[in-house]
Structure formats: structure tokens, C-alpha cells
Chain A
Amino acid sequence: MKWVFAGAFVLLCLLAIPAYRGSHDPVTAGKTRIVWISDDNPVRKGQIELFNKTHPSIELKIDPTNAGMEKVIVQSLAGVGPDLFDCYNPFQLSAYVRAGIAADITDDMLKAGVDVGKIIWPAVKVTCVRDERAYGFPCNAACDAVWFNKKLFEEARIPYPDHQMTWDELIALAKRLTVREADGRAKQFGLLCDWWQWQSFIAMWGGSIFSADGSQCVVDSPEAIAAVQFLHDLIYVHKVMPSPADEASATQGGWGSGTISFFSGDKGAMAFGGRWWLCTLRMSKDLRSGVMPAPFGPGGVYRGYGRSTLVSANSKNRAAALEFMKYLAGPDYNQLLNDQGDALAPVPAYCQGERFLHNPEYPQETDNQVWADAMAKGVPDQVSPYVNGNLANRILTKQLDLVKNDQKTAADALRSAAKRINEEIAKGRAMAAAAGVAGRAGTAEKTGGRP
């Protein structure tokens, strides 16, 4: 028995030699390596290659597996964090800033001639600028429009849409384009929309989740209720959109969300989505699609969303990380991104002109102007400093699940959600107030000259 254990140890120690030898990924000599935590969307590869080509002294590496706020925060605080990481919404930005791991790069960027807050699409400013200080730069910007499948329109002998419709017109059209089998199961839907887009509908209807100063949750406003009820009715009253069960059948495999694979698989005639769908849609060679502006809701605006990359305050290679920020603001990246179709370039100046409107590689994509026009009408998300965004999100998701499953009306669900979130806000404000008092007491103590 002794020998069994001794043998095992010797064997394992021998194995440890190749294990350790292989575990270090050597940096190319003379280069500075910076690590970027982002998702592994295939277009990221091209973006990184271009950066590394134009910056020979830097080696940018992507790390898709450590995404997630908690990991970024914990690893950064522990000193093993990345140099660059992504931020998807204003709540994340405020969490990163408050945790002290997002670096203020306002002045560095100004020195390089880039005024971050001024040159980007206003709707995505909230993902990288807070209290007029910049912590990063947006990677892209998106507002949604309506995709349509030309083949399905032709089959139904309906002319392609050529103007901005009202929602009533669109629903009437969607009903004509919904095809059901004998047992009632839908073969083709008139309109597709990801359920998480409810936020877009609330924005389009002129509502919001939080009041402008973040002191109150206003998701139970009549506008917001009407918007969610509208989304519900698309499924259960007009019956032009997939129910949760229909939708689940599309999420087993393939690229992109279920809705995108439905659309590219000719199972939906129209779909509410962004330009970033192009990354996936281009892979379906047989798909012929067009884009029309989404009908206006009562608010006359669209929800803007996007993704920013922030610089870590604990980065040891800040200069190199700043080079990446400048790259994001420059023409190389902006044009590449527009060509790749991962939503719109963050700088509006590059979203115009022949180079943007007609990509010679994809001559069939003739509707690029629609995206730029929609983006100009984008409004940003509101957040509240008093409540954790993930918590608010969980409360909302829970209630909206009930609406989606037709178990609760939009009004009931949103009222319970608003009530719960307002409770949390009250708690957060009380804590903030107490902390303010405690903070002052602390400084008083210090100035009092105690040992």
C-alpha cells in the first residue's frame, strides 16, 4: 500500500513537469500584452487583428471566459484583472466606477484630441461616461428597426414595404403573413421579436423604468403598461408573434438568438431587431432581407443600446490600453465595424457617406441609411443609483415572465414590480443617507486629531 501511494506520487510529480511547462503562454519578445475581456463574437477577431497590425508594439488578446461583472470586479480587486473590459449598460458602469476599477481617461483622451462625450452617439454615452467623466469608449451603438424577408413577401404576393408604417398597418400586414398548419401550429410568423426587447417598447411608448433622477421606479406608468400590454397582445391577441413555447423550439443550436435563427430560417416574415443581426444573417447565403424603419410608438423615439470598453484602473499597461481607446475612436475601427455589420460604429461621423451606405462586398445591403436615421432618434436607458441593476432586472424579469405566459396583465405585473423596486430604492436611499452621516462622522473624528 505504501508503494502504491509512493508510486502514484512519483508518477504525478513527473506529470507535473509537462503540466507546468505548458501552462504559460509566452509574450512575444518586445511586445506589451494587454488583455481584453469581451464576448467571443466572431467579428472580434478581425477587430483585434487590425489593432495588432496597426500597433506592432502591442499584443492585444481577448479573454471571453472571464466575462461577467462579479468576475471582473473580484479579479481586478485581487490584482489579476484585465486591462480592458466591456460594459453593457449604465448600471454596470456605475458599479465599476464605484468599485474603483474603472479608470478615468477623460484627460488622456482630451490630450489625444478626443472628447469622448461629444463625438459619440448620444444614446450610448451612458455606457462609458458618468458625471461628464469618461471611463472608456463605446464599441458600437444600436437602435432597432424591422427586418423583412423578401422571399416570404414574394410568396404571399405582397409588395416590399417602402415607407415607415404605423403599428396598426404593421399588425395587419403581419396577420396576412402568419401561416398556420391545420392543427393551429404556426409554420411562419408575421412578426418576430425577442421578449427582452420589452425595454425598447417601453422607450418607444415614451415610458421609462426609472425617473430621470433615479429616485423612483416609474415602470408602472400608463405608457410603460401600454407598451408591455402591446407586446403581450402581439402574441395572444393578434397572434402574429411566437409564444414562449414556440420560441423555445428555436434555441437549441446554431448562431445567435432564437429569434435570429427563426428569421434566417424563413420562419418569420418580419422581425424587430438591430443591425448587429447582420453578423449572423450574412451566414445564411439564401436569405434575402430588407430593412424598414420601425413604426413609431407614442413616444416618437427608439431605445438606444450598445457596448463600451472600459480601461481598468489596475491596469499595468495603461498606455497600451489608451492606444486601444484611441483605436476605437479612429477611422480604422469605425469603418471596419460598419463593414462587419456589428451594429453601428460608435462615432456618427463614420455612419454616413458612400463608404457607409454601400459596402462593395455586400451590394445587396442597400438599407444602411435606415439604421443611421433610427440611431439619431435613440434615447438612453435610465438607471437609479439607489438600486442594484441586477436586482431591479430580476424583479422585472420575474413579473414580465408572468405576462409573457399570459398569467398576469401588464398593469398588475408592472405595478407589483414597481412596488418592489421602489421598496428597494427606499432601502438604498436610507442606507446612502446613513452612510453619508457615518462618512461625515468619520472625517470629523479624523480632524478631531485622535491618535
Chain B
Amino acid sequence: MFSLVVSATNWSLTREEPFRFVGLANFAQLFGDKEFWQYFINTGYLMLGMPIAIAGSLCLALLLSQKLRGVVIYRTMFYLPSFTSGVALLILWKALYNPQFGPINAALGPIFQWFGGQAPEWLLSTKNLLGLHAEDIRLVWAQFGLGARDAMIFMGIWISIGGSNMLLYLAGLSNIPQELFEAAQIDGAGPWATFRHVTWPQLAPTTFFILVMSFIGGLQGGFESARVLTAGGPAGTTTTLAYYIYTKAFEEFQIGYASAVSWVLFIIIAVVTLLNWKFGSRETNDA
């Protein structure tokens, strides 16, 4: 609540001018701020990996919920990325994405060359799979390719696929009454039909919860990776709203403006969550 008050002031750490209330000026400035919109799009783009990560978690959970030997070992291995504290993991990925000596390009390089292309420069490149322009909000063909934002997405999927989402799905699966599967088997349903008509609807609450949490996390995310991996670059392409708030508040000392950005972000999150909630509970009721 304190920050809501702050967002209506010109508070700046360096006390460059007397503290005063500027009303909604910070918010007005924000909507004309081209950078804000660019970083908003960045945040959205980085969330594109979310559905893949969630689907991946579900697949993993389905595979792991079978009575297989060594499930404990698999589970631990998939959960491994979630253990490692942020900084070390990010330094690790920086090395993996090294365009010349990184293992990723060492493996992919020949494939790209075979197609007559060049291996991607990952964290150094402003390119992306949608062809977003580096500065303006429009698409250009020259920007099509793999760049820093895509690198962030792949890393995000890798980190989250076996993490808590997988555990949530495993828990959800173990809570499905066994009778339902037996009934499906008696009806002669194949694996896909069983999944479609039994597993998926039964998992709806879990999926819904994961979706809400991922949305919240995604909209607030990208701070640590931007700070450690790219400093928000190249050319601001990996700056998310969270990182923008941080730079505004702690590097450029415009705490009032930063608070205004955070409140807009909060409202976006709240709206998305409420929509989810409405849509999600209808889904759950249908099931």
C-alpha cells in the first residue's frame, strides 16, 4: 500500500528536487513511454514458453506415474534444475550458450551449416522467432531467427519442466480415484481416450492452479536472468517489466515512476488472474 502512495510522488533517492506529490503524472508518463510497451512485449514473448513447459511437466508426470523401476532417480534428476541456486545456474547457461565454444552450438552448428545458415548467436543477438523489431513495435523479416529472448525461453523451459509443476501434476494424478480408470478399461477405452475423458478432466484443478501461478510468475519474472546473463540487453531485448522496475528504482532512482510501473503490472496480473479464475472455475464445474 505504501508503494501506491509512492507511485503518486516524485520520490527519488538522490533528493534532486523537493519531495512532492505529482498525482497521476507518473501513470500518464508511463502510457506514453515507448520503452514500457517494448518491455511489456518482451515479458509477453518470454511467457510463450509457458504452455510448452506446462505440457512438458504433464508428460513427465504421466510417464513417472507409472510403476517403473527407478522412479525416484528420475524424479530427482528432473527436479535437479530447481535445486541449483539462481546465480550458478545462470552462469552455467551463459557458458552453454557461448556462440563459439558453447556445447549447444557445438552440437547444433553442423545442423545449421547443413541448411546453409549460421549457428545462432543466442544471448548476443536481438533476433527472435516472431521477427519482432528491436526498437519499434512491429515485425521485420530481418529479425527472424534465434536470439537472446529465445535463449531465455529455452532455459526457462529447461528449468521449470521438472520442477514443482511436475510434482503438482504427480500429486494430482495420485489423487484420481482408481475406479475411474477401471471403469474406463471396462468400457474398452484406449490410452488416448482414457487420458482425454478421465485423466485430463480430473487434473483440471491442478492445471488451473499451475496456470494461475505460472501467469503470475511469468509476468513478474525475468529479473535474475536479465541481471546475471544479459543486463537486459542486447539493446534491451531481454528487459522484462520486473527488470525495468528494478533499473528505474535502483539505478536511475526514480522510485515514484518505478512504483507506478509496478502498480500497472499488478493490475495486469490481477486482471489476468481474475479472468483465469472465472474461466477456470467454469471449466472445473463442467468436469
Contacts and interface: CB of A to CB of B under 8 A. Distances in A.
Let me know if chains A and B touch directly in the complex, using CB atoms closer than 8 Å. yes
Interface residues of A, number: 35
Contacts of A435: 16-18
A405 interface: yes
A394 interface: yes
Interface stretch (B75-83, B162-170, B186-194, B250-258): B250-258
A98 B100 contact: no
Interface string A89-118: 000000100111000000000000000000
B157 interface: no
Contacts of B123: 248
A244 B18 contact: no
A249 B247 contact: no
Contacts of A416: 135
B282 interface: no
Contacts of B20: 438
A408 B17 CA distance: 37
A100 B15 contact: yes
Contacts of B254: 388
Contact of B252 (A73, A100, A388, A431): A388
B126 interface: yes
Contacts of A95: 14, 253
Contacts of B16: 98, 431-432, 435
A402 B235 contact: yes
Contacts of A73: 13-14
A193 B243 CA distance: 29
B17 A397 contact: no
A77 to B, nearest CB: 8
Contacts of A404: 234
Contacts of B233: 397-398, 401
Interface stretch (B52-60, B91-99, B211-219, B270-278): B91-99
B134 A70 contact: no
A98 B13 CA distance: 10
B125 interface: yes
B10 interface: yes
A390 interface: yes
B224 interface: no
A245 B253 contact: no
A407 interface: yes
A70 B124 contact: no
A252 interface: yes
A435 B18 CA distance: 6
A74 interface: yes
A434 B101 CA distance: 55
A28 to B, nearest CB: 34
A69 B94 CA distance: 26
A398 B235 contact: yes
A409 to B, nearest CB: 14
A405 B18 contact: no
Contacts of B18: 435, 438-439, 442
* Pairs of residues from A and B, 8 with the lowest C-beta to C-beta distance, nearest first: A435-B17, A401-B235, A249-B100, A70-B250, A245-B99, A401-B234, A390-B251, A391-B252
